[in-house]
Structure 1
Amino acid sequence: MASLQSLLLFPGPSGCSIPRARTAFVPTTRVSEVSNGVGAIRKGGLVVSRPLAVRGVDEPRVSNGDRKNEKPIIVIDNYDSFTYNLCQYMGELGANFEVYRNDELTVEELKRKCPRGILISPGPGTPQDSGISLQTVLELGPSIPLFGVCMGLQCIGEAFGGKVVRSPFGVVHGKHSLVYYDESLGDTLFSSLPNPFTAGRYHSLVIEKDTFPSDVLEITAWTEDGLIMAARHKKYPHIQGVQFHPESIITTEGKRMVNNFVKSIETLEYSIPKP
């Protein structure tokens, strides 16, 4: 059997390496209960159990690595109930992941888990209330695919010099909005999606457009009234996030966005030659 070293593709944080994704697998069963395709989230981390939901024809199951060599996608839960819906999508897509609250482990402990991807969830408050999220963006983002949702996007913006402010249009909760994206950017979270698409928004804060750090980040999606709805890093485009909620039933293409994120992890792994 090939050694772990022979499967490694590119370095992660603190000398970790990310294993090549090879074949589909059934996620582990180290959970206390499973309902509707996702394990019950508990303190101390979660590993999704066997996904139960049937995917759609246009939602291919993500191909994942040999179970012994597979590293998880780590979900940082910013104490938000929407996190569970994101996990539901991840489980249905066959992704192996673990969930930790934003104050449940340190960034150094997170590095030692050698995740192949990171998802930063929505949450109440501002990026300053997000535990390890900001530091995670800065320290792990350059080497690991990272997807920020709602406050997760705000963490990306603030981490790289942006300013998070109150939306000039006030609080929105469950608002339908048309979101437009830049098709010229190539592969993004929105690849193969209609343009525009309908998104569900639940927020009062946004990344300020006037002070947007355009030397480091680029805006990838926006509303008709010009609010920033998505952005990514210019040098490290695998650091990306959205202001709306892809897991909301209002967001018609949300599951495909999550699938695009999970597939992008494999794309990055396969793009780097074997040593």
Structure 2
Amino acid sequence: MILIVDNYDSFTYNLYQLVDIAASGRFGEISVKRNDDPSLLSLPLSSLKAIIISPGPGRPEDTNLCPELIKKAQGILPILGVCLGHQLLGSLDGGNIVRAKSVLHGKTSLVHHRAEGLFEGLPSPFKAARYHSLCIEKDSLTNYTVTASTADGEIMAIAHRDFPSFGIQFHPESFLTEGGEILIGNFLAKL
């Protein structure tokens, strides 16, 4: 089962649909649970193939049980954080969450990357939809490397140095994002 943790976001089921298309039934059920559902912490990790932390309003500290779930699963299961989920991964690594240079809601930016990992098969740069006013401060991460950014240096993606744990600041499920299905497929290839 692939677990998607919903941070009370209107995009969660768009993300679910994208994961469902990219998974093509290969990984069993895709389950969506809210970030305050007590069953999140009692799910046996052995029943999961991966965890995806959804976008959502607010700050990483508003994600209820997500930090505890990530700490429990880190290094055992592949984890993908999207937007708020990305910021949460950075925050748990000691990264500073700061105001973005520009508040972007429903706007696209060009994302530059090295065509590896989650970005294999995607052009660099590619257009990605952004819906955020916060971001991870550059040079504040300990165990994650920056794998994609905008031309002005805003962090758009991170990857853990030792574990299959990834964060993307943009929304792969948005019709404004080029290659969202490829990116999610690359994450699922880690399973």
TM bin (shorter chain): over 0.9
Q: 2:149 aligns with which of 208, 216, 222?
A: 222
Structure 2 partner of 1:181: 113
Q: Which has the larger radius of gyration?
A: 1
Structure 2 partner of 1:150: 83
Structure 1 partner of 2:44: 111
Structure 2 partner of 1:195: 124
Structure 2 partner of 1:44: none
Q: 1:166 aligns with which of 99, 106, 110?
A: 99
How far is the alpha carbon of 1:182 from its aligned partner? 2.5
The one-letter amino acid paired with 1:122 is P
Alignment partners' CA distance in 2, 1:222 and 1:208: 12
Unpaired stretches in structure 1, ≥5 consecutive residues = 1-71, 266-275
Alignment partners' CA distance in 2, 1:111 and 1:154: 25
How far is the alpha carbon of 1:217 from its aligned partner? 0.8
Q: Secondary structure at the match of 2:190?
A: helix
Alignment partners' CA distance in 2, 1:76 and 1:110: 12
Structure 2 partner of 1:132: 65
Alignment partners' CA distance in 2, 1:83 and 1:108: 20
How far is the alpha carbon of 1:150 from its aligned partner? 0.2
TM-score by length of 1: 0.65
Alignment partners' CA distance in 2, 1:105 and 1:113: 18
Structure 1 partner of 2:168: 242
Aligned residues: 187
Alignment partners' CA distance in 1, 2:177 and 2:50: 23
How far is the alpha carbon of 1:125 from its aligned partner? 0.2
Q: Secondary structure at the match of 2:119?
A: coil
Identify if the C-alpha distance between structure 1 residues 143 and 112 changes in structure 2 by more than 3 Å, giving closer, same or farther.
Answer: closer
Alignment partners' CA distance in 1, 2:99 and 2:71: 23
The one-letter amino acid paired with 2:144 is L
Alignment partners' CA distance in 2, 1:88 and 1:76: 14
Structure 1 partner of 2:34: 101
Q: Do 1:106 and 1:132's aligned partners in 2 also have CA atoms closer than 8 Å?
A: no
How far is the alpha carbon of 1:110 from its aligned partner? 2.8
The one-letter amino acid paired with 1:264 is K
Structure 1 partner of 2:21: 92
How far is the alpha carbon of 1:108 from its aligned partner? 3.0
The one-letter amino acid paired with 1:178 is L
Larger RCO of the pair (alpha carbons < 8 Å, separation 6+) = 2
Q: 1:262 aligns with which of 184, 188, 191?
A: 188
Alpha-carbon RMSD across the aligned residues, in angstroms, is 1.4
Structure showing the higher strand proportion among its residues:
2
Alignment identity in percent? 43
Structure 2 partner of 1:231: 158
TM-score by length of 2: 0.92
Cα deviation 1:10-69 (Å, max 9, x = unaligned): xxxxxxxxxxxxxxxxxxxxxxxxxxxxxxxxxxxxxxxxxxxxxxxxxxxxxxxxxxxx
